[in-house]
Amino acid sequence: ATKDMGKMLGGDEEKDPDAEKKEEERQEALRQEEEERKAKYQKMEAERETMRQGIRDKYGIKKREEKEAEAQAAMEVAAEGSLTRPKKAIPAGCGNEEEEEDESILDTVMKYLPGPLQDMFKK
């Protein structure tokens, strides 16, 4: 009874010489069980996926990832001429480029003026 009283009062416990070895074996057993569990569920998921694929093939259904990829591609194609499409490179000749202008704005306006007015501005 005195040994038990010493443990209850916070005394030193008896050290089991094989305690460390037992703990290592217990940890190894837990790791092994976890690996077996993961393998089991991985196998079950593979079987489910083969069944799912069979159903998809039978009814012509596409996978969720394939649907999303096709929808994204369709959105990009539909957005080509849309005003709300994301901005891409500006096509050539649309004004955001550093162009060397052959004519000034005044020369362009002069083309559209009647002959007598053109003569008046040239002077």
pLDDT tens sequence across 88-104: 666 666 665 455 555 67
Q: Which residues contact 97 (CB under 8 A, 6 or more apart)?
A: 90
Is the full-model pTM beyond 0.75?
no
Cβ distance 59 to 51 under 8 Å? no
Q: How confident is the model at residue 87 (pLDDT cuts 50, 70, 90)?
A: low
How far is 50 from 71, CA to CA, in rounded Å?
25
Per-residue model confidence (pLDDT) at position 101: 55
Per-residue model confidence (pLDDT) at position 62: 85
Q: Which of 81, 78, 52, 77 shows the shortest CA–CA distance to 65? A: 52
Per-residue model confidence (pLDDT) at position 85: 60
Question: Percentage of the chain with pLDDT > 70?
Answer: 64
Most confident of 38-47, 53-62, 70-79, 113-122: 38-47
pLDDT tens sequence across 56-86: 999 998 888 888 888 888 877 766 666 666 6
Q: What does 18-61 look like in DSSP terms, one character per residue?
A: THHHHHHHHHHHHHHHHHHHHHHHHHHHHHHHHHHHHHHHHHTP
Question: Percentage of the chain with pLDDT > 90?
Answer: 33
